[in-house]
Amino acid sequence: MDMVSEKSALVTGSAAGIGRAAALAFAAEGARVVVSDVDIEGGEQTVAMIEERGGEAFFVKADISLPEEVDALVARTIERFGRLDCACNNAGIEGKILPLVEQPLDNFDRIIAVNLRGTFLCLQAEIRQMLKHGGGSIVNLASVAGLIGFPGLAPYVASKHGVNGLTKNAALEYGKQGIRVNAVCPGGVDTRMLDSLAEQATGGAMTTREMMNPLHPIGRIGTPEEIAELIVWLCSDRASFVTGANIPVDGGFVAQ
């Protein structure tokens, strides 16, 4: 039996990268999927990929930093599927690599607005619906930068530490009502975000893999599909005793 058969799943930031891989994995494991992103073309491509493989999905454009758009996103989910069983709060941005005192305030504000405020707003809207239907499972996308510091990335690090904190609190507050909340903390993963960070860090002097592979004890960066495997498992009944966890999926990065 598929891990999330007959369940409905919402994945933010699913026009590419880890979000797209998660949406595809949810569909492959039997879920009906809501694909959401600010990137309309990429989101619709994700839906098409799911449908080509025999799954069911639809796209909703939403900026998760805006409460009205988050509420509309969850409302559309309920309108289409009748309930919300699984949610993956993946949407996020990386911002600029600069020392803390040189970070522009607008860069800090935008990263916090999307990564932390956006996750908070999604949690509120998702939990409200899950409470009406007897529970559910939520996975927030944090980062190894939510577990340790990274010079040059203070706003991003702060936002992801915040996501891990929100995850713990939500798990504590709603566990007895059947809602599990966990965070996944990826290391370096083959995505456009990592390419952007590598480009900023080296000025193009090194490829993403040249820069990042040696930093991981396993000897390589991860794939979006490897992160998606854990996301879907956490949302399934197979993870029924797992909540409030901030789980690194990082090729051993934070074990160093």
pLDDT digits (tens, 9 = 90+) for 202-225: 888 888 889 889 999 999 999 999
Query: Strand locations in the chain, DSSP E?
Result: 8-12, 32-37, 57-61, 86-89, 136-141, 179-186, 246-249
Please confirm, yes or no, whether 156 is among the known catalytic residues.
yes
User: Do residues 7 and 85 lie in contact, with contact meaning Cβ atoms separated by under 8 Å?
Assistant: yes
Task: State how far Cα 138 lies from the chain centre.
Answer: 10
With contact defined as beta carbons under 8 Å apart, do 148 and 97 qualify?
no
What is the reported pLDDT for 137?
98
Please provide the CATH number assigned to the domain covering 8-188+224-255. Answer: 3.40.50.720
**DSSP strand pairing (57-61 vs 86-89):** unpaired
DSSP letter for each residue of 178-208 = TEEEEEEEE-SBSSHHHHHHHHHHHTTSS-H
Q: What is the pLDDT of residue 67?
A: 98
**pLDDT at residue 205 in the model:** 86
Which tokens in the block code for residue 213? 């592979």
What global pTM score does this model have? 0.96
Q: How far apart, in whole angstroms, are the C-alpha atoms of residue 34 and residue 57?
A: 6
How many CA atoms lie within 13 Å of 7's alpha carbon, on the beta-carbon side?
A: 28
Per-residue pLDDT, 1: 62
Q: What pLDDT does residue 186 have?
A: 97
Report residues of the chain scoring pLDDT below 50.
Answer: none
Judged on CB neighbours under 10 Å (0-12, 13-18, 19+), 226 is middle
Question: What per-residue confidence (pLDDT) applies to 234?
Answer: 98
pLDDT for position 208: 84
User: What per-residue confidence (pLDDT) applies to 2?
Assistant: 87
Q: What tokens were used for 16?
A: 């590419």
Cα gap 109→7, rounded to integer Å: 35
| Long-range contacts (CB closer than 8 Å, 24 or more residues apart) made by 113-118 | 113/65, 114/64, 114/65, 114/159, 115/156, 115/159, 115/160, 115/162, 115/163, 116/158, 116/159, 116/162, 116/163, 116/166, 117/65, 118/12, 118/64, 118/65, 118/70, 118/89, 118/91, 118/92
Core vs surface per residue 134-158: b (16+ CB within 10 A) or e: eebbbbbbbbbbbbeeeebbbbbbb
40-52 and 17-28 are packed helices; what angle lies between their axes, rounded to 10 degrees?
Answer: 30
Q: Which stretches of 62-151 are DSSP H helices?
A: 67-81, 105-111, 118-132
Q: Catalytic: which of 156, 160, 188, 208? A: 156
> How many contiguous H segments (helices) and E segments (strands) does the chain have?
9, 7
Q: How many residues can be counted in the chain? A: 256
